[in-house]
C-alpha cells in the first residue's frame, strides 16, 4: 500500500555546513493495507519529518514515496489530501475555528473536489454528520451550528478526526494528536481513534510519545532514532512486547535518547 524507498532528508537552516541535521537517513519501509502502525522515538528522531514526507509537506532530498504502486514523491501536498487523512498535535490546526461544525464537516466531505466549486448543504449530508458525531458520545450532534472555535481542545481533535475519516482515506496520519490533551480526554480521543481505525480497517500511522499507547494500539510498532528505523515489530511479536523490553532496547543502544516526556509516560 505505502512504500518508502531510500528516503533521506537533511535540514540546514543556517547555511553553515556544521548545522546540517539529518532528519531521515535512508528510510526503507513497506506498510500493508489495513496495518495500524505506531511510531515512537526521542525528540528530533525524525518522526514528524517521516509523516511530512508522506503527506508532501516536506520533499525528500533522495528516495521515493509510492502509494498503491504510484510514485507520488513530487506530488504537491494539496493533491495528496484527496486520499490522506491527517491529524496533528495542535487542536487549532485541523479545523477552521470561525466556521461551524457543520461547515467544517461539509468542507471535509468535499476535499476531493475543487475548492473553487460552490458548495451547498445537502440534507443527506447533515444526517450523515449527525450520525458520525453521535459516535463520539460528546453531544456534538446537537451543536452542528456552533463555531468550532468554541469547542474544547479534546472536542476539536475528535471533530478533526471525524473529518479526516469522513471520506475514508487510503492512509490516516496521526502526529501526537492527543499530546496537547489532558489524560482523560486523550484516552477518549485515542479510544475513538482505535474504534474508527479498526471498524473501517484504515491503514494508519500514529506517532506517540507514550510507550504504553504505542504498545496498546495498532498491530505494528516502529522506533526511530537519528532518522533511522531501529525497531520494527509486528503482529504476535508486538502483542508480547513489554515496556521493559522497549526500555532495554533503549538502554542497550546508548545512542538512543529518551525524551523526558517518554520517561514520564512509561
- List of residues contacting ligand ADP (CB under 6 A): 11, 13, 21, 23, 41, 43-49
Residue closer to ligand ADP (CB basis): 19 or 201 = 19
What angle in degrees, to the nearest 10, is found between the helix axes of 153-166 and 183-200? 10
Cα-based torsion angle of the residue sequence 216, 218, 226, 90 in order, rounded to the nearest 10 degrees? -90
CB of 45 to Mg ion, least distance (A): 8
Q: Which listed range, 39-47, 93-101, 227-235, 252-260, lies at the site for Mg ion (CB under 5 A)? A: 39-47
CA nearest to 258, candidates 43, 38, 46? 43
CB of 42 to Mg ion, least distance (A): 10
41 neighbors 253 (Cβ within 8 angstroms): no
Collapsing DSSP to helix, strand or coil, 18 comes out as: helix
Q: Closest residue to Mg ion, Cβ-based?
A: 48
Give yes or no for residue 210 binding Mg ion (CB under 5 A): no
Out of Mg ion, ligand ADP, none, what residue 63 binds, judged by CB under 5 to 8 A for its kind, is: none
CA distance 256 to 246: 11
Q: How many residues sit in the footprint of Mg ion (CB under 5 A)?
A: 2
Give yes or no for residue 48 binding Mg ion (CB under 5 A): yes
Cα three-residue angle 147-151-156, rounded to 5 degrees: 100
The C-alpha cell 481505525 sits at 197
CB of 122 to Mg ion, least distance (A): 37
CB of 48 to Mg ion, least distance (A): 3
**Which residues of this chain interact with Mg ion, rule CB under 5 A?**
47-48
Amino acid at each position: 500500500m505505502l512504500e518508502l524507498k531510500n528516503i533521506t532528508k537533511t535540514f540546514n537552516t543556517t547555511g553553515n555546513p556544521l548545522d546540517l541535521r539529518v532528519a531521515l537517513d535512508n528510510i526503507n519501509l513497506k506498510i500493508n493495507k489495513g496495518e495500524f502502525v505506531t511510531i515512537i522515538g526521542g525528540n528530533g528522531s525524525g518522526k514528524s519529518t517521516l509523516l511530512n514526507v508522506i503527506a508532501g509537506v516536506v520533499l525528500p532530498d533522495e528516495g521515493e514515496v509510492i502509494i498503491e504502486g504510484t510514485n507520488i514523491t513530487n506530488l504537491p501536498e494539496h493533491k495528496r489530501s484527496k486520499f490522506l487523512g491527517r491529524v496533528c498535535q495542535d487542536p487549532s490546526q485541523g479545523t477552521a475555528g470561525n466556521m461551524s461544525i457543520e461547515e467544517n464537516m461539509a468542507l471535509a466531505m468535499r476535499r476531493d473536489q475543487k475548492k473553487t466549486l460552490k458548495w451547498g448543504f445537502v440534507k443527506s449530508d447533515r444526517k450523515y454528520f449527525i450520525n458520525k458525531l453521535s459516535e463520539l458520545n460528546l453531544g456534538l450532534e446537537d451543536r452542528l451550528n456552533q463555531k468550532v472555535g468554541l469547542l474544547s481542545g479534546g472536542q476539536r481533535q475528535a471533530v478533526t478526526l471525524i473529518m479526516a475519516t469522513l471520506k475514508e482515506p487510503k492512509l490516516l496520519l496521526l502526529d501526537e494528536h492527543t499530546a496537547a490533551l489532558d489524560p482523560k480526554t486523550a484516552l477518549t480521543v485515542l479510544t475513538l481513534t482505535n474504534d474508527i481505525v479498526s471498524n473501517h480497517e484504515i491503514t494508519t500511522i500514529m506517532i506517540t510519545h507514550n510507550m504504553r499507547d504505542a504498545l496498546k494500539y495498532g498491530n505494528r510498532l516502529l522506533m526511530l532514532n537519528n532518522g533511522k528505523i531501529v525497531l520494527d515489530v509486528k503482529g504476535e511479536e508486538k502483542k508480547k512486547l513489554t515496556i521493559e523490553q522497549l526500555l532495554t532496547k533503549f538502554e542497550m543502544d546508548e545512542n538512543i535518547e529518551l525524551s523526558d516526556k517518554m520517561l514520564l509516560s512509561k
